[in-house]
Structure 1
Amino acid sequence: MEALVMGSLTLSLLHALIPSHWLPFVTIGQTERWSLQQTLIITAIAGLAHTVSTTLLGVLVSLAGWQLAENYHDLSEKAIPLLLLALGVWYLMQHLRHRHVHDHIDAGLVRKARSFSALLLSLGLAMFLSPCLEIEAYFLSAGAKGWEVVLLVALIYNVVTLTGMLLMVTLGRRSLQQINPHWFEHNENLITGLTLFGLAVLNFFIEF
Protein backbone atom coordinates (compact mmCIF):
# COMPACT_ATOMS: atom_id res chain seq x y z
CA MET A 1 0.00 0.00 0.00
CA GLU A 2 2.83 2.40 0.88
CA ALA A 3 4.56 1.72 -2.46
CA LEU A 4 1.32 2.39 -4.33
CA VAL A 5 0.77 5.73 -2.57
CA MET A 6 4.40 6.82 -2.95
CA GLY A 7 4.49 5.76 -6.61
CA SER A 8 1.28 7.67 -7.36
CA LEU A 9 2.61 10.72 -5.54
CA THR A 10 5.95 10.57 -7.37
CA LEU A 11 4.42 10.33 -10.84
CA SER A 12 1.87 13.04 -10.09
CA LEU A 13 4.58 15.40 -8.89
CA LEU A 14 6.74 14.55 -11.90
CA HIS A 15 3.91 15.44 -14.26
CA ALA A 16 3.30 18.74 -12.57
CA LEU A 17 6.97 19.77 -12.67
CA ILE A 18 7.80 18.78 -16.25
CA PRO A 19 7.66 21.91 -18.45
CA SER A 20 5.11 20.56 -20.95
CA HIS A 21 2.50 20.78 -18.18
CA TRP A 22 3.07 24.42 -17.26
CA LEU A 23 5.50 26.24 -19.55
CA PRO A 24 3.01 26.60 -22.47
CA PHE A 25 0.59 28.39 -20.15
CA VAL A 26 3.31 30.77 -19.01
CA THR A 27 4.51 31.61 -22.52
CA ILE A 28 1.01 31.92 -24.02
CA GLY A 29 -0.09 34.05 -21.08
CA GLN A 30 2.88 36.36 -21.61
CA THR A 31 2.26 36.57 -25.36
CA GLU A 32 -1.44 37.31 -24.93
CA ARG A 33 -0.72 39.73 -22.05
CA TRP A 34 -2.98 37.87 -19.64
CA SER A 35 -2.93 38.72 -15.97
CA LEU A 36 -1.63 36.11 -13.55
CA GLN A 37 -5.23 35.42 -12.53
CA GLN A 38 -6.31 34.77 -16.13
CA THR A 39 -3.30 32.51 -16.69
CA LEU A 40 -4.05 30.51 -13.55
CA ILE A 41 -7.73 30.17 -14.50
CA ILE A 42 -6.83 28.71 -17.90
CA THR A 43 -4.17 26.49 -16.32
CA ALA A 44 -6.67 25.18 -13.75
CA ILE A 45 -9.38 24.45 -16.34
CA ALA A 46 -7.04 22.85 -18.86
CA GLY A 47 -5.23 20.95 -16.11
CA LEU A 48 -8.54 19.69 -14.73
CA ALA A 49 -9.54 18.51 -18.22
CA HIS A 50 -6.23 16.63 -18.37
CA THR A 51 -6.55 14.98 -14.94
CA VAL A 52 -10.22 14.12 -15.48
CA SER A 53 -9.51 12.31 -18.76
CA THR A 54 -6.59 10.50 -17.12
CA THR A 55 -8.80 9.54 -14.16
CA LEU A 56 -11.62 8.29 -16.41
CA LEU A 57 -9.13 6.09 -18.24
CA GLY A 58 -7.76 5.01 -14.87
CA VAL A 59 -11.21 3.92 -13.68
CA LEU A 60 -11.54 1.72 -16.77
CA VAL A 61 -8.09 0.27 -16.08
CA SER A 62 -9.12 -0.30 -12.45
CA LEU A 63 -11.88 -2.62 -13.66
CA ALA A 64 -9.20 -4.87 -15.11
CA GLY A 65 -7.42 -4.83 -11.75
CA TRP A 66 -10.66 -5.72 -9.99
CA GLN A 67 -11.14 -8.69 -12.33
CA LEU A 68 -7.61 -9.83 -11.49
CA ALA A 69 -8.04 -9.37 -7.72
CA GLU A 70 -7.87 -13.11 -7.03
CA ASN A 71 -4.43 -13.21 -8.64
CA TYR A 72 -3.33 -9.98 -6.97
CA HIS A 73 -0.07 -11.38 -5.61
CA ASP A 74 1.16 -12.30 -9.09
CA LEU A 75 -0.15 -8.99 -10.43
CA SER A 76 1.73 -6.92 -7.87
CA GLU A 77 4.95 -8.95 -8.13
CA LYS A 78 5.18 -9.19 -11.92
CA ALA A 79 2.61 -7.37 -14.03
CA ILE A 80 2.77 -3.88 -12.44
CA PRO A 81 6.59 -3.58 -12.36
CA LEU A 82 6.83 -4.94 -15.90
CA LEU A 83 4.25 -2.40 -17.10
CA LEU A 84 6.19 0.44 -15.45
CA LEU A 85 9.42 -0.90 -16.93
CA ALA A 86 7.92 -1.13 -20.43
CA LEU A 87 6.65 2.45 -20.22
CA GLY A 88 10.04 3.60 -18.94
CA VAL A 89 11.87 1.92 -21.82
CA TRP A 90 9.41 3.48 -24.28
CA TYR A 91 10.06 6.99 -22.94
CA LEU A 92 13.82 6.42 -23.04
CA MET A 93 13.49 5.35 -26.68
CA GLN A 94 11.55 8.54 -27.44
CA HIS A 95 14.32 10.55 -25.81
CA LEU A 96 16.91 8.86 -28.01
CA ARG A 97 14.78 9.71 -31.03
CA HIS A 98 14.53 13.34 -29.84
CA ARG A 99 10.73 13.34 -29.88
CA HIS A 100 8.64 15.22 -27.32
CA VAL A 101 5.75 12.80 -26.87
CA HIS A 102 4.34 14.84 -24.00
CA ASP A 103 3.81 18.05 -25.94
CA HIS A 104 0.13 18.39 -25.06
CA ILE A 105 -0.28 21.82 -26.64
CA ASP A 106 -0.58 22.09 -30.42
CA ALA A 107 1.21 25.33 -31.32
CA GLY A 108 -0.57 25.62 -34.65
CA LEU A 109 -3.94 25.31 -32.97
CA VAL A 110 -2.97 27.98 -30.47
CA ARG A 111 -1.87 30.41 -33.18
CA LYS A 112 -5.27 30.10 -34.88
CA ALA A 113 -7.28 30.64 -31.70
CA ARG A 114 -6.37 34.07 -30.37
CA SER A 115 -9.36 35.10 -28.25
CA PHE A 116 -9.39 34.21 -24.54
CA SER A 117 -12.43 31.92 -24.84
CA ALA A 118 -11.09 30.24 -28.00
CA LEU A 119 -7.71 29.64 -26.37
CA LEU A 120 -9.40 28.26 -23.26
CA LEU A 121 -11.38 25.79 -25.39
CA SER A 122 -8.36 24.84 -27.48
CA LEU A 123 -6.04 24.29 -24.53
CA GLY A 124 -8.68 22.41 -22.53
CA LEU A 125 -9.49 20.13 -25.46
CA ALA A 126 -5.82 19.47 -26.18
CA MET A 127 -5.18 18.50 -22.56
CA PHE A 128 -8.33 16.36 -22.32
CA LEU A 129 -7.36 14.38 -25.42
CA SER A 130 -3.87 13.59 -24.11
CA PRO A 131 -4.24 11.67 -20.83
CA CYS A 132 -1.07 10.54 -19.09
CA LEU A 133 -0.51 6.80 -19.30
CA GLU A 134 2.16 6.34 -16.63
CA ILE A 135 -0.23 6.59 -13.67
CA GLU A 136 -2.49 3.90 -15.14
CA ALA A 137 -0.27 1.15 -13.73
CA TYR A 138 -1.20 2.38 -10.26
CA PHE A 139 -4.88 2.49 -11.14
CA LEU A 140 -4.56 -1.14 -12.25
CA SER A 141 -3.02 -2.08 -8.92
CA ALA A 142 -5.56 0.01 -6.99
CA GLY A 143 -8.45 -1.75 -8.74
CA ALA A 144 -7.24 -5.06 -7.34
CA LYS A 145 -7.31 -3.64 -3.81
CA GLY A 146 -10.75 -2.02 -3.92
CA TRP A 147 -12.53 1.14 -4.97
CA GLU A 148 -11.45 3.03 -1.88
CA VAL A 149 -7.85 2.69 -3.05
CA VAL A 150 -8.84 3.71 -6.59
CA LEU A 151 -10.37 6.89 -5.18
CA LEU A 152 -7.19 7.49 -3.15
CA VAL A 153 -4.97 7.21 -6.25
CA ALA A 154 -7.36 9.49 -8.19
CA LEU A 155 -7.33 12.03 -5.36
CA ILE A 156 -3.54 12.04 -5.11
CA TYR A 157 -3.13 12.39 -8.86
CA ASN A 158 -5.68 15.20 -9.30
CA VAL A 159 -4.67 17.26 -6.26
CA VAL A 160 -0.90 16.96 -6.68
CA THR A 161 -0.91 17.49 -10.45
CA LEU A 162 -3.22 20.51 -10.41
CA THR A 163 -1.53 22.11 -7.40
CA GLY A 164 1.90 21.57 -8.92
CA MET A 165 0.87 23.02 -12.29
CA LEU A 166 -0.58 26.15 -10.68
CA LEU A 167 2.50 26.58 -8.49
CA MET A 168 4.89 26.19 -11.43
CA VAL A 169 2.90 28.64 -13.57
CA THR A 170 2.98 31.17 -10.74
CA LEU A 171 6.73 30.74 -10.25
CA GLY A 172 7.30 30.76 -14.00
CA ARG A 173 5.43 34.01 -14.46
CA ARG A 174 7.39 35.69 -11.70
CA SER A 175 10.83 34.46 -12.73
CA LEU A 176 10.58 33.84 -16.49
CA GLN A 177 13.80 35.70 -17.16
CA GLN A 178 15.74 33.93 -14.41
CA ILE A 179 14.85 30.30 -15.14
CA ASN A 180 15.90 28.16 -18.08
CA PRO A 181 13.47 25.25 -18.42
CA HIS A 182 14.71 24.25 -21.86
CA TRP A 183 17.07 21.56 -20.52
CA PHE A 184 14.16 19.92 -18.68
CA GLU A 185 11.88 20.35 -21.69
CA HIS A 186 14.46 18.75 -23.97
CA ASN A 187 15.08 15.87 -21.53
CA GLU A 188 11.57 15.31 -20.16
CA ASN A 189 11.29 11.88 -21.83
CA LEU A 190 14.62 10.92 -20.24
CA ILE A 191 13.44 12.13 -16.83
CA THR A 192 10.10 10.31 -17.14
CA GLY A 193 11.72 7.13 -18.43
CA LEU A 194 14.30 6.99 -15.65
CA THR A 195 11.62 7.68 -13.02
CA LEU A 196 9.42 4.86 -14.33
CA PHE A 197 12.42 2.55 -14.55
CA GLY A 198 13.32 3.35 -10.93
CA LEU A 199 9.76 2.75 -9.76
CA ALA A 200 9.69 -0.57 -11.62
CA VAL A 201 12.91 -1.72 -9.95
CA LEU A 202 11.63 -0.54 -6.56
CA ASN A 203 8.36 -2.42 -6.97
CA PHE A 204 10.14 -5.65 -7.85
CA PHE A 205 11.31 -5.62 -4.22
CA ILE A 206 8.44 -3.81 -2.48
CA GLU A 207 4.94 -5.22 -2.93
CA PHE A 208 2.13 -2.74 -3.61
Structure 2
Amino acid sequence: MDPLILTLSAAGIAVLHTALGPDHYLPFAALGAARRWSVARTLTITAICGVGHVVASLVLAAIALGAGSVAMQLTGITEVRGDIAAWLMVAFGVAYALYGLKFILREINSHSHAHAHADGTQHAHGHQHHAGHLHPHVALDEAAARKQGVVAVGWALFIIFLFGPCEPLIPLVMAPASQGAWLTVVSVVGVFAVTTIGTMLAIVWVLASGLARAPALRASAYVHSAAGATVAACGAAMLLGL
Protein backbone atom coordinates (compact mmCIF):
# COMPACT_ATOMS: atom_id res chain seq x y z
CA MET A 1 0.00 0.00 0.00
CA ASP A 2 1.15 3.53 -0.75
CA PRO A 3 2.82 5.04 2.37
CA LEU A 4 0.89 8.30 2.08
CA ILE A 5 -2.46 6.54 1.82
CA LEU A 6 -1.59 4.29 4.77
CA THR A 7 -0.54 7.28 6.87
CA LEU A 8 -3.69 9.23 6.02
CA SER A 9 -5.75 6.13 6.77
CA ALA A 10 -4.05 5.90 10.17
CA ALA A 11 -5.08 9.49 10.93
CA GLY A 12 -8.68 8.93 9.88
CA ILE A 13 -9.01 5.65 11.75
CA ALA A 14 -7.49 7.23 14.87
CA VAL A 15 -10.05 10.05 14.85
CA LEU A 16 -13.00 7.68 14.35
CA HIS A 17 -11.72 5.12 16.86
CA THR A 18 -11.34 7.82 19.51
CA ALA A 19 -14.43 9.92 18.82
CA LEU A 20 -16.75 6.90 18.61
CA GLY A 21 -15.44 5.49 21.90
CA PRO A 22 -16.82 7.53 24.83
CA ASP A 23 -14.48 5.63 27.14
CA HIS A 24 -11.65 7.70 25.61
CA TYR A 25 -12.93 10.99 27.03
CA LEU A 26 -16.04 10.83 29.25
CA PRO A 27 -14.21 9.33 32.29
CA PHE A 28 -11.70 12.19 32.29
CA ALA A 29 -14.30 14.92 31.95
CA ALA A 30 -16.62 13.38 34.54
CA LEU A 31 -13.94 12.65 37.13
CA GLY A 32 -12.25 15.98 36.51
CA ALA A 33 -15.50 17.76 37.32
CA ALA A 34 -16.14 15.60 40.38
CA ARG A 35 -12.60 16.11 41.73
CA ARG A 36 -12.73 19.82 40.83
CA TRP A 37 -9.59 19.56 38.74
CA SER A 38 -8.55 22.48 36.61
CA VAL A 39 -8.92 22.03 32.86
CA ALA A 40 -5.11 21.90 32.60
CA ARG A 41 -4.84 19.09 35.16
CA THR A 42 -7.62 17.13 33.46
CA LEU A 43 -5.86 17.45 30.11
CA THR A 44 -2.52 16.42 31.61
CA ILE A 45 -3.97 13.21 33.03
CA THR A 46 -5.76 12.57 29.73
CA ALA A 47 -2.50 12.95 27.79
CA ILE A 48 -0.60 10.59 30.11
CA CYS A 49 -3.31 7.93 29.81
CA GLY A 50 -3.43 8.45 26.05
CA VAL A 51 0.30 7.78 25.79
CA GLY A 52 -0.11 4.57 27.79
CA HIS A 53 -3.04 3.62 25.55
CA VAL A 54 -0.91 3.92 22.41
CA VAL A 55 2.25 2.38 23.89
CA ALA A 56 0.27 -0.74 24.86
CA SER A 57 -0.68 -1.15 21.20
CA LEU A 58 2.92 -0.76 20.08
CA VAL A 59 4.00 -3.48 22.49
CA LEU A 60 1.38 -5.85 21.05
CA ALA A 61 2.45 -4.96 17.52
CA ALA A 62 6.09 -5.70 18.40
CA ILE A 63 5.05 -9.06 19.86
CA ALA A 64 3.11 -9.81 16.69
CA LEU A 65 6.14 -9.09 14.52
CA GLY A 66 8.31 -11.34 16.65
CA ALA A 67 5.71 -14.09 16.83
CA GLY A 68 5.59 -14.57 13.09
CA SER A 69 3.23 -17.42 12.24
CA VAL A 70 1.42 -17.27 15.58
CA ALA A 71 0.65 -13.58 15.25
CA MET A 72 -3.02 -14.35 14.73
CA GLN A 73 -3.18 -15.42 18.37
CA LEU A 74 -2.87 -11.75 19.26
CA THR A 75 -6.46 -11.25 18.18
CA GLY A 76 -7.59 -13.33 21.13
CA ILE A 77 -5.08 -11.64 23.45
CA THR A 78 -6.31 -8.22 22.39
CA GLU A 79 -9.93 -9.20 23.00
CA VAL A 80 -9.08 -10.52 26.48
CA ARG A 81 -7.16 -7.36 27.37
CA GLY A 82 -10.04 -5.26 26.09
CA ASP A 83 -12.46 -7.18 28.31
CA ILE A 84 -10.14 -6.73 31.29
CA ALA A 85 -10.01 -2.98 30.66
CA ALA A 86 -13.80 -2.84 30.38
CA TRP A 87 -14.36 -4.77 33.61
CA LEU A 88 -11.78 -2.63 35.40
CA MET A 89 -13.60 0.47 34.22
CA VAL A 90 -16.95 -0.91 35.42
CA ALA A 91 -15.48 -1.89 38.79
CA PHE A 92 -13.75 1.45 39.27
CA GLY A 93 -16.89 3.33 38.24
CA VAL A 94 -19.11 1.40 40.65
CA ALA A 95 -16.58 1.82 43.48
CA TYR A 96 -16.35 5.55 42.85
CA ALA A 97 -20.13 5.89 42.69
CA LEU A 98 -20.38 4.15 46.07
CA TYR A 99 -17.67 6.47 47.40
CA GLY A 100 -19.83 9.36 46.27
CA LEU A 101 -22.72 8.17 48.43
CA LYS A 102 -20.99 9.56 51.52
CA PHE A 103 -21.25 13.06 50.09
CA ILE A 104 -24.94 12.56 49.36
CA LEU A 105 -25.59 11.28 52.89
CA ARG A 106 -23.56 14.15 54.33
CA GLU A 107 -25.68 16.61 52.34
CA ILE A 108 -28.89 15.01 53.57
CA ASN A 109 -27.79 14.96 57.21
CA SER A 110 -26.16 18.36 57.41
CA HIS A 111 -27.03 22.04 57.40
CA SER A 112 -25.16 25.30 57.71
CA HIS A 113 -25.54 28.58 59.53
CA ALA A 114 -23.70 31.88 59.54
CA HIS A 115 -21.67 33.39 62.33
CA ALA A 116 -19.39 36.39 62.78
CA HIS A 117 -15.72 36.63 63.72
CA ALA A 118 -14.13 39.31 65.92
CA ASP A 119 -12.88 41.22 62.89
CA GLY A 120 -16.43 41.61 61.63
CA THR A 121 -16.28 39.06 58.81
CA GLN A 122 -19.13 36.64 58.47
CA HIS A 123 -19.34 33.25 56.82
CA ALA A 124 -21.22 29.99 57.08
CA HIS A 125 -20.03 26.60 58.30
CA GLY A 126 -21.74 23.34 57.48
CA HIS A 127 -21.91 20.62 60.09
CA GLN A 128 -23.33 17.18 60.59
CA HIS A 129 -25.81 16.57 63.39
CA HIS A 130 -23.67 13.83 64.88
CA ALA A 131 -20.71 16.21 65.09
CA GLY A 132 -22.41 18.76 67.30
CA HIS A 133 -21.60 22.40 66.66
CA LEU A 134 -17.86 22.15 66.17
CA HIS A 135 -16.50 24.18 63.24
CA PRO A 136 -12.94 22.99 62.47
CA HIS A 137 -11.06 24.76 59.71
CA VAL A 138 -9.82 21.88 57.58
CA ALA A 139 -8.54 23.60 54.45
CA LEU A 140 -5.12 21.93 54.73
CA ASP A 141 -6.61 18.48 55.25
CA GLU A 142 -8.92 18.95 52.27
CA ALA A 143 -5.99 20.06 50.09
CA ALA A 144 -4.00 16.96 51.09
CA ALA A 145 -6.98 14.71 50.42
CA ARG A 146 -7.49 16.24 46.97
CA LYS A 147 -3.81 15.73 46.13
CA GLN A 148 -4.04 12.08 47.16
CA GLY A 149 -7.21 11.79 45.09
CA VAL A 150 -5.43 13.06 41.98
CA VAL A 151 -2.74 10.40 42.37
CA ALA A 152 -5.17 7.55 43.11
CA VAL A 153 -7.66 8.39 40.36
CA GLY A 154 -4.88 9.15 37.88
CA TRP A 155 -3.19 5.80 38.47
CA ALA A 156 -6.50 3.95 38.22
CA LEU A 157 -7.25 5.51 34.83
CA PHE A 158 -3.70 4.92 33.60
CA ILE A 159 -3.80 1.21 34.47
CA ILE A 160 -7.20 0.83 32.82
CA PHE A 161 -5.93 2.44 29.61
CA LEU A 162 -2.84 0.24 29.58
CA PHE A 163 -5.14 -2.79 29.41
CA GLY A 164 -7.19 -1.22 26.63
CA PRO A 165 -4.90 -0.93 23.59
CA CYS A 166 -5.82 0.82 20.33
CA GLU A 167 -6.64 -2.30 18.34
CA PRO A 168 -6.69 -0.55 14.92
CA LEU A 169 -3.03 0.42 15.26
CA ILE A 170 -1.78 -3.18 15.24
CA PRO A 171 -2.69 -4.10 11.63
CA LEU A 172 -1.71 -0.61 10.45
CA VAL A 173 1.79 -1.18 11.81
CA MET A 174 2.16 -4.84 10.84
CA ALA A 175 1.38 -4.26 7.16
CA PRO A 176 4.41 -2.06 6.37
CA ALA A 177 6.63 -3.75 8.99
CA SER A 178 6.17 -7.14 7.34
CA GLN A 179 7.63 -5.59 4.17
CA GLY A 180 10.51 -3.90 5.97
CA ALA A 181 9.14 -0.41 5.30
CA TRP A 182 10.32 0.99 8.62
CA LEU A 183 10.00 4.65 7.66
CA THR A 184 6.35 4.01 6.91
CA VAL A 185 5.99 2.27 10.27
CA VAL A 186 7.41 5.31 12.04
CA SER A 187 5.13 7.60 10.05
CA VAL A 188 2.02 5.54 10.78
CA VAL A 189 2.81 5.21 14.48
CA GLY A 190 3.58 8.90 14.84
CA VAL A 191 0.46 10.08 13.04
CA PHE A 192 -1.80 7.57 14.79
CA ALA A 193 -0.42 8.45 18.22
CA VAL A 194 -0.61 12.22 17.75
CA THR A 195 -4.08 12.03 16.21
CA THR A 196 -5.45 9.70 18.89
CA ILE A 197 -4.11 11.73 21.81
CA GLY A 198 -4.98 15.00 20.08
CA THR A 199 -8.58 13.88 19.55
CA MET A 200 -8.85 12.78 23.17
CA LEU A 201 -7.50 16.13 24.36
CA ALA A 202 -9.76 18.13 22.06
CA ILE A 203 -12.95 16.40 23.20
CA VAL A 204 -11.95 16.43 26.87
CA TRP A 205 -11.08 20.13 26.60
CA VAL A 206 -14.53 20.94 25.22
CA LEU A 207 -16.29 18.89 27.91
CA ALA A 208 -14.08 20.04 30.80
CA SER A 209 -14.34 23.68 29.76
CA GLY A 210 -18.11 23.41 29.63
CA LEU A 211 -18.32 21.76 33.04
CA ALA A 212 -15.96 24.39 34.49
CA ARG A 213 -18.63 26.98 33.64
CA ALA A 214 -21.12 25.14 35.85
CA PRO A 215 -19.70 25.57 39.38
CA ALA A 216 -23.00 24.59 40.97
CA LEU A 217 -22.85 21.23 39.20
CA ARG A 218 -19.23 20.63 40.24
CA ALA A 219 -20.09 21.47 43.86
CA SER A 220 -23.15 19.22 43.93
CA ALA A 221 -23.17 16.40 46.46
CA TYR A 222 -24.27 14.07 43.67
CA VAL A 223 -21.38 14.81 41.30
CA HIS A 224 -19.12 11.98 42.56
CA SER A 225 -21.77 9.30 42.21
CA ALA A 226 -22.72 10.69 38.81
CA ALA A 227 -19.09 10.57 37.69
CA GLY A 228 -18.74 6.98 38.90
CA ALA A 229 -21.91 5.98 37.09
CA THR A 230 -20.58 7.60 33.91
CA VAL A 231 -17.31 5.65 34.11
CA ALA A 232 -19.16 2.39 34.81
CA ALA A 233 -21.49 3.04 31.86
CA CYS A 234 -18.48 3.52 29.57
CA GLY A 235 -17.08 0.18 30.70
CA ALA A 236 -20.43 -1.51 30.16
CA ALA A 237 -20.62 -0.05 26.66
CA MET A 238 -17.20 -1.55 25.91
CA LEU A 239 -18.38 -4.98 27.08
CA LEU A 240 -21.44 -4.69 24.86
CA GLY A 241 -19.29 -3.69 21.90
CA LEU A 242 -20.91 -0.28 21.60
Work out whether the TM-score is over 0.5: yes
Within 5 Å, which residues of 2 pair with 1:1-208?
1=2, 2-17=4-19, 18-63=21-66, 103=86, 106-109=89-92, 111=96, 115-145=149-179, 146-175=181-210, 189=241
| Unaligned runs of at least 5 residues, structure 2 | 100-147, 214-229
Tell me the matched-pair count.
Answer: 154
**1:107 Cα offset (Å):** 4.2
Alpha carbons of 1:152 and 1:37: their partners in 2 closer, same or farther (altered >3 Å)? same
* Counterpart Cα distance in 2 of 1:43 and 1:105: 17
* Counterpart Cα distance in 1 of 2:87 and 2:166: 10
Q: In structure 2, what residue type is equivalent to 1:116? A: V
**TM-align CA RMSD:** 3.3
Q: In structure 1, what residue type is equivalent to 2:13? A: L
CA deviation profile, 1:56-107 (whole Å, cap 9, x unmatched):
212333456xx69xxxxxxxxxxxxxx9xxx9xxx9xxxxxxxx99848614
| Unaligned runs of at least 5 residues, structure 1 | 69-82, 92-99, 191-208
Q: Which protein is bigger by CA-based radius of gyration?
A: 2
**1:169 Cα offset (Å):** 0.3
**1:16 Cα offset (Å):** 2.5
**1:170 Cα offset (Å):** 0.4
Question: In 2, are the aligned partners of 1:104 and 1:127 still within 8 Å (CA)?
Answer: no
| Secondary structure, counterpart of 1:115 in structure 2 | helix
**1:154 Cα offset (Å):** 0.9
| Secondary structure, counterpart of 2:178 in structure 1 | helix
* Counterpart Cα distance in 2 of 1:131 and 1:30: 26
Identity %, equivalent residues = 24
